[in-house]
Chains A and B, each alone.
Chain A
């Protein structure tokens, strides 16, 4: 006899009320976060390369480039280039090493592959939002990277002391992390949208690389945005990458104040809403185009 009886059957029917739906999504979210953790740490080499070394190479290269620039300009001591002394650039690079770890990377998503290979088919007949599982990956990524970023900061401070980036205040740290968190979610949404283009295109990975370069450059991964030509910097200040990478570091350095943080938060929330609307639109249109390949 199979364990099916009427009362049992009634007990297992998925409830469709808004409240139960929300709590189910929340439970599912946390369970998927746990599974994502297990997936990330099951292979040691993969974990070291993908999770620990993530975001470390570019700032270190940047440091060498800046050292050469300041030396050739004779500004490595107390001098400055476009309002930035070399010591400040050192702190900025330290900030980059920490902040870049926290910003969501497209490598953490494989939605386009799931679409190409028809692996999302199974989710389409299940009574939940597929996006909940993807959000689980964002949360897992963020939690893990917060720990690793903390380690990086601690090691850097242990070695370099006050030459390393030390936030001007606890409040500045909280404000900076708020900006990084919102900005990282904007990156996550943008990557998800680009991944969703796999419903139509087969060049998604090229687009993702382009998007990452765009985010890195306009966000100030190569140089502080405020050190860029004024016209360019003014334009970039309306983008979410600036408020995700460059601005939070400057907040921790004390170069930007609470007023700037408020403005940045407003801009990020605006981006977040716009990207979420676009994400829903693209996903819906994509599903109408989906052919469920490989089934």
Chain B
């Protein structure tokens, strides 16, 4: 599944989100270790400025679906907080719907929604339907419209029978679906989703992605989605912004990202059983072409190769292996992002783990 349909906005329209040289510096205190350190801190604390964001320039138009990617501490959430007006920028200017983000009026706030995967938007002690009624008052939603939206959204996300159960008693997946319904009840134009699928099972993640894609297509809603699950980004966003140490390392679409990192392809070659016992000659033949073997099994081998060298590599494969079948796939997004990070001298480890291991955050 991927985002289809015509773009709802265009470059000629005024951007709905804009950042000009936005920077954010947090003031914190350095704590020296040990007893002496504690006493020193008590008398005189050492103030330290931590730069979370520096010189961020971007503009997002109506209907754009933007994935914000970055390792832990890269500045994704800080950027979302600044764009939504939760915290002020230390320097530069952030604008949402044409107004300074930190001084939004209620009219602008009513066109905005925020979903936080790690913080509940709804009231913990109340059943979701009661929280929705509170939101109806907050956003002045017409009661007929409210009823039809609750009905439609709960059906789309398959939580119709969970509306009257206290939020704290719902499963994580059901709770997150309710959070997303709550965020969309007032028909927002701009939606920020911060890790909306964190901790969810595959089915719930897929349901949520489908919901987001459907609303993007039908309503032209502008999304800014941050996630460590790059599959979320791939399937719901057309534009990708990679943040690295508070700066934009890449801003463009998936194809652009592929081009920027030389466009690797993963070639999976299926051979006769036992045909991968001696891969020495193949490795030697691939090395001058910049290709490498990344995985091997008794009857298959996977090779990572620059897209531009593909035409040279394929004959080498047939010369050195008893090929039964062969498939070529685009490099997974996390590999692309890891390349971006390695280009800027960082491992991007937490990001690259997104789909690979239990250490994913």
A: residues with CB less than 8 A from B are 1-4, 8-9, 11-16, 20-21, 24, 27-28, 31-32, 35, 38-39, 42, 118-119, 121-122, 124-128, 288, 290-292, 294-295
Known: A3-B152, A14-B186, A32-B134. A125 touches B87 (CB 8 A): no
Known: A3-B149, A14-B110, A15-B140. A295 touches B218 (CB 8 A): no
B5 nearest CB across to chain A (Å): 14
Interface string of B99-140 (1 = CB under 8 A from A): 000000111011111101011110101100010011001111
Known: A35-B130, A290-B86. A295 touches B116 (CB 8 A): yes
CB pair B81–A21 under 8 Å, yes or no, is no
CB pair A12–B133 under 8 Å, yes or no, is no
B335 on the interface (CB 8 Å rule)?
no
CB pair B187–A295 under 8 Å, yes or no, is no
Bound: A210/B84 CA distance, A: 37
CB pair B121–A122 under 8 Å, yes or no, is yes
Known: A2-B215, A31-B134, A35-B126. A295 touches B119 (CB 8 A): yes
CB pair B119–A294 under 8 Å, yes or no, is yes
Instruction: List chain B residues, Cβ under 8 A from A14.
Output: 106-107, 109-110, 138-140, 186
B236 on the interface (CB 8 Å rule)?
no
CB pair A291–B134 under 8 Å, yes or no, is no
CB pair A16–B107 under 8 Å, yes or no, is yes
B212 nearest CB across to chain A (Å): 12
CB pair A4–B187 under 8 Å, yes or no, is yes
B47 nearest CB across to chain A (Å): 14
A69 nearest CB across to chain B (Å): 44
Known: A12-B139, A14-B106, A121-B86. A295 touches B77 (CB 8 A): yes
A212 nearest CB across to chain B (Å): 25
Instruction: List chain A residues, Cβ under 8 A from B142.
Output: 8, 11-12
Instruction: List chain B residues, Cβ under 8 A from A291.
Output: 26, 87
CB pair A128–B138 under 8 Å, yes or no, is yes
Known: A12-B140, A35-B130, A291-B26. A21 touches B116 (CB 8 A): no
B21 on the interface (CB 8 Å rule)?
no
Among B119, B120, B149, B219, the most chain A Cβ lie within 10 Å of the Cβ of B119
Bound: A27/B138 CA distance, A: 9
11 more contacts with CB within 8 A, not counting A16-B106, A31-B133, are A2-B153, A13-B107, A14-B107, A14-B186, A24-B140, A28-B137, A35-B123, A38-B125, A125-B84, A127-B138, A292-B87
Bound: A237/B121 CA distance, A: 45
CB pair A124–B85 under 8 Å, yes or no, is yes
Interface string of B185-215 (1 = CB under 8 A from A): 0110000001000000000000000000011
CB pair B121–A288 under 8 Å, yes or no, is no
Instruction: List chain B residues, Cβ under 8 A from A1.
Output: 218
Instruction: List chain B residues, Cβ under 8 A from A32.
Output: 134
Bound: A4/B153 CA distance, A: 11
Closest to B179 in A: A122
B: residues with CB less than 8 A from A are 26, 77, 80-81, 84-88, 105-107, 109-114, 116, 118-121, 123, 125-126, 130, 133-134, 137-142, 145, 148-149, 151-153, 156, 186-187, 194, 214-215, 218-219
CB pair B218–A12 under 8 Å, yes or no, is no
Known: A31-B133, A32-B134. A125 touches B85 (CB 8 A): yes
Bound: A290/B81 CA distance, A: 10
Tell which of B87, B134, B187 touches A35, judged by Cβ atoms closer than 8 Å: B134
CB pair B214–A2 under 8 Å, yes or no, is yes
Tell which of A31, A118, A127 touches B119, judged by Cβ atoms closer than 8 Å: A118
B146 nearest CB across to chain A (Å): 8
Instruction: List chain B residues, Cβ under 8 A from A119.
Output: 119-120
Bound: A32/B26 CA distance, A: 35
A123 nearest CB across to chain B (Å): 9
Instruction: List chain A residues, Cβ under 8 A from B80.
Output: 295
CB pair B87–A290 under 8 Å, yes or no, is yes
CB pair A125–B113 under 8 Å, yes or no, is yes
A199 nearest CB across to chain B (Å): 12
Closest to B28 in A: A291
CB pair B139–A4 under 8 Å, yes or no, is no
Closest to B52 in A: A291
Tell which of B134, B186, B194 touches A12, judged by Cβ atoms closer than 8 Å: B186
CB pair B119–A12 under 8 Å, yes or no, is no
Instruction: List chain B residues, Cβ under 8 A from A12.
Output: 139-142, 145, 186-187
Closest to A7 in B: B145
Instruction: List chain A residues, Cβ under 8 A from B125.
Output: 38-39, 42
CB pair A292–B110 under 8 Å, yes or no, is no
CB pair A8–B187 under 8 Å, yes or no, is yes
Bound: A31/B149 CA distance, A: 21
Q: 3 nearest interchain CB pairs?
A: A14-B110, A127-B106, A127-B109
Tell which of A13, A20, A295 touches B194, judged by Cβ atoms closer than 8 Å: A295
Among A13, A20, A21, A24, the most chain B Cβ lie within 10 Å of the Cβ of A13
